[in-house]
Amino acid sequence: MRIGDIEVGDLGFGTMRLASDGTIWEPPADRGAATAVLRRAVELGVRLIDTSDAYALGAGEELVAEALHPYADDVVIATKGGVARPSVEEWIPLGRPEYLRQQAELSLRRLRRDVIDLYYLHRVDPQVPLADQIGALEGLRQEGKIRHIGLSEVTVGQLEQAREIAPVAAVQNLYNLIDRTHEEVVDHTGKHEIAFVPFFPIAVGDLGAVTALAAEIGATPAQTALAWLLHRSPNIIPIPGTTSVRHLEENVAARDLRLTDEQFARLDRLGRPVDQLA
């Protein structure tokens, strides 16, 4: 799978869970274990590493650099800007152009990169015209500081409005076996050859049904949920995260699973509203 002109493979790694607690406020307590997970991901052939300036107030980006710098030529780093963290509980969209430019510069420093491969607008700020937010990112792209622009948690309408201003290479929305809120966005991005990068990709809902099918294919429920995503559309690149090397290896192994159309359909029904089931 490609993001723009960059080959990234079928599966990436999301770093949010490497923060030390559920608030994503503190860096990991065991940095050695966290860096080991990141390095093992690359050893296993994972090429897309996803982070954000909002994860532990930039410490997430610093951890990526600590683990992987100097980066292998084929390792792709994605990060995000546009969310402020004034306190542990708050995630506030902040899309003022001067803020986005500042955050991109800080991300470049923390990641020890000259260019960020993929830079997402972390959230659309309803207080700032979308054209101004995308314009700031396009300015950074024209200057060579970011290679590709991404958007996170957007609708089809917002995506199309953004594409009138700048090319968009990827969309990162919440999407998994159980939560299908963004079905329309998945289909739209697939039609336009835009990568769709689902966050929180592992969800199994009715554990009994997923476990039964997992047993059929010789997999875990988590692997089965990832296999469903990979079957769902060729433009989908899941980014499961974990703090465990064992779970990382388990997730990466899902790349090799194949579902029949009948198995896919059985899983697909789990997340569909009753009125959509045939």
| C-beta neighbour count of 255 within 10 angstroms | 17
Residues 106 and 162: their CA atoms lie apart, in Å, by: 24
Residues 136 and 142: their CA atoms lie apart, in Å, by: 10
Structure tokens that stand for 169 in this block: 């290479």
Structure tokens that stand for 228 in this block: 């469903």
Residues 28 and 128: their CA atoms lie apart, in Å, by: 33
CA nearest neighbour of 11 among 174, 267, 252: 252
Residue 71 designated active-site? no
DSSP 157-169: HHHHHHHTTS---
Sheet holding 146-152: strands in order across? 13-14, 48-50, 76-81, 116-121, 146-152, 170-172, 195-196
* Length of the chain counted residue by residue: 278
Residues annotated as part of the active site: 55
